[in-house]
């Protein structure tokens, strides 16, 4: 497992200084079923906008 998960989406409630993700788990899905050819074919379902 990665020790540090980086994220530049600073309007997510899990974003912390230094572009760190503070979520306990990360959920990433593919637009094409179980396989993706590149990062543009994926989405982070962990994203939760700040209120």
Name residue 6's beta-bridge partners. 20
Does the pTM surpass 0.85? The reply is no
Partners of residue 20 on adjacent β-strands: 6, 16
pLDDT of residue 1: 76
Residue with more model confidence, 2 or 30: 30
Of 19, 1, 2, 12, the closest CA to residue 44 belongs to 12
- Cα–Cα distance between 46 and 27 in angstroms, integer? 5
| pLDDT for residue 48 | 97
What are the residues whose beta carbons fall under 8 Å from the beta carbon of 2, sequence distance 6 or more?
Answer: none
| Residue 15 binned pLDDT confidence (cut-offs 50, 70, 90) | very high
């Amino acid at each position: 497992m990665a020790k540090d998960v980086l994220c530049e989406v600073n309007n997510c409630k899990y974003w912390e200084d230094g572009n760190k993700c503070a979520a306990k788990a990360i959920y990433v899905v593919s637009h094409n079923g179980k396989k993706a050819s590149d990062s543009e074919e994926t989405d982070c379902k962990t994203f939760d906008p700040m209120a």
